[in-house]
Structure 1
């Protein structure tokens, strides 16, 4: 028997597009550090990509000298002076000192308030150190959206351990639910969820698949890779909670083919990344908080004092 979320998915596929939307993006920028930050052509493309988004998760940031992200932010704020951006970054993550990455969220200050953040501890009894790069989780307030507040959980899996890490995201969901008393959660990032790393025969073992409360927005037929020789849906977006599903703009979840959009050859695009970003849009809503969202006042006040 079809579940309520199944009908929400049909609704998601069938509707129209509002005049004003809120765009969430996730982009594996493939070893983003000094070399890319000092390549003007690469930076120009990165700025164009990120400036399309109200909030953009960057993965595979390897900014050991701590120069690359500030350079990107300076270029971004010069490019789009009407929308100023800030960022928040995880600690350097990885099981070895020789290879570590950061998660970085870049967001428009005019449309997003960062209410809270935390690094998932990855110390669950019986499943400690489940992740190579533990999620760096953010709680956001977006007053102009229909949903108003939500949580983003990023994940860049290790390809050979993708099935286990994607399954362990369910434990992260439970941790977020306990910590922040919300189920409005979106998982996003390079899950390596295709082309042999997440076999279809193993998917029923993955709780984000088997639990029908979770909606996978990027499908298996999508291609999130730049190379013409590959066709893999590595990068995904998954949402939980019916109100979150209803807040999505129908048919807005997709990879963004920046090579086609900006007239780049495959060789030029690969200088930027071997992945395309994935994105989804939230419907616009009243900017008023109203009596139904008194807890959002607490989020705003908390975010204000945290940032000062």
Structure 2
């Protein structure tokens, strides 16, 4: 094989990769366990969080206890250093909660892969179920680079352990609010639902509308372990999808709890300094780019490996 032919084959391989469509789109949620500014300022914690967030196109952190809003800039700086300036942007909810204890939901997202369109804090005032949520969901709406799924709504929840059953059930009301407000049915519910290990009894699942009703598909089962400690095995953190389009784009087997202890080479003690939860994530198979799907080139372009390939933008 001559060098010109070899170069042509390499160029053809690169072209075929480009034509294969956009890479899978990964969304995650992570209970970062009382993440305040002093914890985020630790090099080891910030470095681990940066590597965890950078796995995802959108990652929403929960249990951010940050009254002065210092965590988000610290983590954005770490992400800028790791992935390049401006690779990620962030959006924080206001402090949410009852009494003096408040938490934020904080989204980190790649603006080249997801465009933030709108957001709202769910108004927890359903006439039959008022003030269900300890921390109301901070709902976001993103434009995605896909003709198959141009929009996606995310609903994160950090449920209070003693009210997990009621809060998970009330996510059905949030879904109806999303449909009324935006006319949108493609929704991902994700986060620390405290969905197991005594907080939701197995005999009670059939009373929970988010589990029982047809639009909702639970991507992580009751056997999932999303806890860091080796002494526990609990399916606290979940991902639930609604909407025919989004359900059809879920990459089989991609929903998982991400074991960052093993992947980052940490001891259990080091991992617990980051969180006692593992992040949960799922991938969606998006098949386009901003501005619409790519059109395949003419056959002549595939056959003419020389100047035609070298002239590609």
Verify same fold: TM over 0.5: yes
Partner of residue 77 from structure 2, selected from 71, 74, 85: 74
For residue 200 of structure 2, give the secondary structure of its aligned residue in structure 1. Answer: coil
- Give 1:46's aligned residue: 49
How many Å apart are 1:126 and its aligned residue? 2.2
Q: Which runs of 5 or more residues in structure 2 are unaligned? A: 1-19, 294-313
* TM-score, structure 1 normalization: 0.86
Which whole-Å CA distance do the structure 1 matches of 2:202 and 2:49 have between them?
33
Cα distance between partner residues in 2 of 1:161 and 1:193 = 10
Q: Residues of 2 paired with 1:186 and 1:167: CA distance?
A: 15
CA offset digits 1:27-83 (Å, max 9, x no partner): 000011122112101111100000111000100000123212211111111110176
Instruction: For 1:1-308, list aligned pairs within 5 A.
Output: 20-81=23-84, 84-97=87-100, 99-144=101-146, 146-287=148-289
Kindly report the root-mean-square deviation, in angstroms, between the aligned alpha carbons of the 2 structures. Answer: 1.7
2-structure distance, mates of 1:284, 1:172: 26
Cα gap change, 1:87 to 1:203, in 2 (>3 Å): same
Q: Conserved in 1, the CA contact under 8 Å of 2:188 and 2:242?
A: yes
C-alpha contact 2:22 2:289 (8 A) present in aligned 1: no
The answer on whether the counterparts of 1:28 and 1:59 sit within 8 Å (CA) in structure 2 is yes
DSSP-derived class of the 1:177 partner: helix
Aligned-partner Cα distance in 2 for 1:139–1:53: 17
Please list every run of 5 or more consecutive structure 1 residues that lacks an aligned counterpart in the other structure: 1-16, 292-308
Helix, strand or coil at the partner of 2:97:
strand
Which is higher, the Rg of structure 1 or of structure 2?
Answer: 2
- The alpha-carbon deviation at position 212 of structure 1 amounts to 2.1
Larger CA deviation: 270-279 vs 67-76? 67-76
Cα gap change, 1:80 to 1:145, in 2 (>3 Å): farther
Partner of 2:311 in structure 1?
A: none
CA distance in structure 1 between the partners assigned to 2:43 and 2:69 by the alignment: 18
The separation in 2 between residues aligned to 1:166 and 1:200, in whole angstroms, is 14
* TM-score normalised over the length of structure 2: 0.84
